[in-house]
Homo-oligomer: A and B are copies of this chain.
């Protein structure tokens, strides 16, 4: 028996509400956003939110989770793209920076609304963030071991690399630099930070 009705309609509306939540949370913060804001941004009544999502926090969790998983995936792809730590760093920083430009609204929620998550959801996000940190850390360590990177304080370099990408979500606003232009500049800066021999 085939599915009745248009099975896509509910999913499309659900996604539209999620998108409205991203926009609202990014602009006014989780606690500064009301469920009525989200509903009206999506062009629906306040109760419509609860037809498709179980709570306001659940919306935040969905946004946070997929945002964190996207970042982890794009960094894993970078490490898998080459055997050379220099090339791995290039791709990692490029992907990381480009993502924080293109998805700067959801990235703002991912990085600045952690405190609004429920305890179990927060714990899950912190686990992913730890994986991201280890990935950057191992990458830098491999570069140092191979002699490609030279830096007096690797741990601080790792923090700096992440800071540069994450902070894009804070300062970037629509009409300005192009994403790949920023990413190019950040690759150059990253190589300098880790003391890569040739830039």
Q: Which of A7-15, A65-73, A134-142, A155-163 interfaces with chain B?
A: A155-163
Point out which of A30, A160, A182 has the most chain B C-beta atoms below 10 A from its C-beta. A160
Residues of the B chain whose Cβ atoms lie less than 8 Å from the Cβ of A111:
170
- Per-residue CB proximity of A144-180 to B under 8 Å, as 1/0? 0000000011001101100110111011000000000
A residues with a Cβ closer than 8 A to B are 27-32, 111-112, 115-116, 152-153, 156-157, 159-160, 163-164, 166-168, 170-171, 182, 185-186, 188-189, 192-193, 195
Top 10 A-B residue pairs of the complex, sorted by shortest distance between their CB atoms: A31-B31, A163-B167, A156-B185, A31-B32, A192-B192, A167-B167, A153-B185, A160-B189, A163-B164, A189-B193
Contact pick for A29, options B29, B164, B192, B193, CB 8 Å: B29
Asked if residues B115 and A28 are in contact (CB atoms below 8 Å), the reply is: yes
